[in-house]
Structure 1
Amino acid sequence: MEIKFREATVQDSEVIGSLVVELTTEICELTNTKHFDIDLNGTIQRCNELISDGHYAAIIGVYEGNPVAVVTMTETYALYAGGKIGLIQEFYVSPEFRASGVGSMLVEQVEGYGKKHNWSCIELCTPPLPEFERTLNFYQKNGLNPVGGRKMRQALS
């Protein structure tokens, strides 16, 4: 199976938005909780703005002309991590392509992107456990290690 990866442009906002909505829908369904309040059109618009403003990057995996995987990232800074780091915001592989190596190839794409941008490390938050224990195992198998804690959020609106 040949998956082609490419760095996304603003013209890919609809593809990215669609895959991210699939991701968030899956998380909500598996946990039986509404963790996210996003809609497709708003997600596409936000993606367009973030990429246009240079605050967001994405890599898309394509198989036979169809997008099957996406990772979205942002660059930030942390003293504890030695300066510039990359945060994976969303990471999604279509269910029919899981366990086929596509996810590992996507992690490799992020590593290459991070090295090109001089990141000291890559960080991410896993979806809720125990429902996503398999996801945690996938990330560990691909070189990401737990560093403790859980993602916390407070809405400001």
Structure 2
Amino acid sequence: MKKFIDTKLEGFKLRYADESDTALILDFIKELAIYEKMLDQVVATEEGLRNSLFCKKAAEVIIGEYEGKPVGFALFFHNFSTFLGQAGLYLEDLYVKPEMRGKGMGKIMLAFLAGLALERNCGRLEWWVLDWNEPSIRFYKKLGAVPMDEWTVYRVTGDNLKVLGEKF
């Protein structure tokens, strides 16, 4: 039986995902990718997610349910700040179904993660947001989040990752 965490919003509960949620998590990832106009970049599979999330425990997921139905998720994992000398929580994805937005569910999920970061003695909670996503940017700023404008994200993937890794 799944263990639910009550929230201050009537009918809205959180719970940690388990292996039986793998297909749901992939569905949420695809819905988020559609919103972000990046569906063509999703190559994740149920098998890969199951292995990464529930066997290797590379990340954790919370599911938000409203009146017993899944309406959102957050996928997160620990990172580390050498400057702080502490772990942090990195929020990879936060998604609430469009018809459920504006009810405070995203804020509750972020507040839960902030509390979890404090409980785990993390120095910070951080995430990325697409530059064009003004609704999310306004939402995050309203919660006290600060953009890290002076940093640029770099990424090596695919063939370039392979080439670089083979140089060692």
Give your verdict on TM over 0.5.
Answer: yes
Q: Is the 8 A contact 1:59 1:109 kept in 2?
A: no
Residues 94-105 of structure 1 aligned to structure 2 (within 5 Å) = 94-105=97-108
Equivalent position amino acid for 2:105 in 1: V
Q: 1:57-116: per-residue Cα shift (whole Å, max 9, x none)?
A: 011100122110100001111212432011000110100111111111111111122122
Over the residues paired in the alignment, what is the CA RMSD in angstroms?
A: 1.8
2:77 matched to 1:74?
yes
Structure of greater Rg = 2
Using a 3 Å threshold, how does the CA distance of structure 1 residues 47 and 143 change in structure 2: closer, same or farther?
farther
Q: Which residue does the alignment assign to 1:136?
A: 137
Residues 20-59 of structure 1 aligned to structure 2 (within 5 Å) = 20-28=29-37, 34=38, 37-39=41-43, 42-52=44-54, 53-59=56-62
Query: The residue matched to 2:80 in structure 1 has which SS?
Result: strand
Equivalent position amino acid for 1:154 in 2: V
Using a 3 Å threshold, how does the CA distance of structure 1 residues 74 and 9 change in structure 2: closer, same or farther?
same
Equivalent position amino acid for 2:16 in 1: E
Aligned residues: 148
Between the aligned partners of 1:90 and 1:11, the Cα distance in structure 2 is: 19
2:146 matched to 1:145?
yes
Q: Which residue does the alignment assign to 2:3?
A: none
Q: Which residue does the alignment assign to 2:165?
A: none
Between the aligned partners of 2:155 and 2:63, the Cα distance in structure 1 is: 27
What is the deviation of 1:17? 1.2
What is the deviation of 1:11? 2.1
Using a 3 Å threshold, how does the CA distance of structure 1 residues 83 and 136 change in structure 2: closer, same or farther?
same
Between the aligned partners of 1:113 and 1:27, the Cα distance in structure 2 is: 27
Q: Which residue does the alignment assign to 2:6?
A: none
Identity %: 24
2:5 matched to 1:4?
no
Between the aligned partners of 2:100 and 2:153, the Cα distance in structure 1 is: 27
Query: The residue matched to 1:143 in structure 2 has which SS?
Result: coil
What is the deviation of 1:124? 0.2
Using a 3 Å threshold, how does the CA distance of structure 1 residues 35 and 125 change in structure 2: closer, same or farther?
farther
Deviates more, 1:79-88 or 1:17-26: 79-88
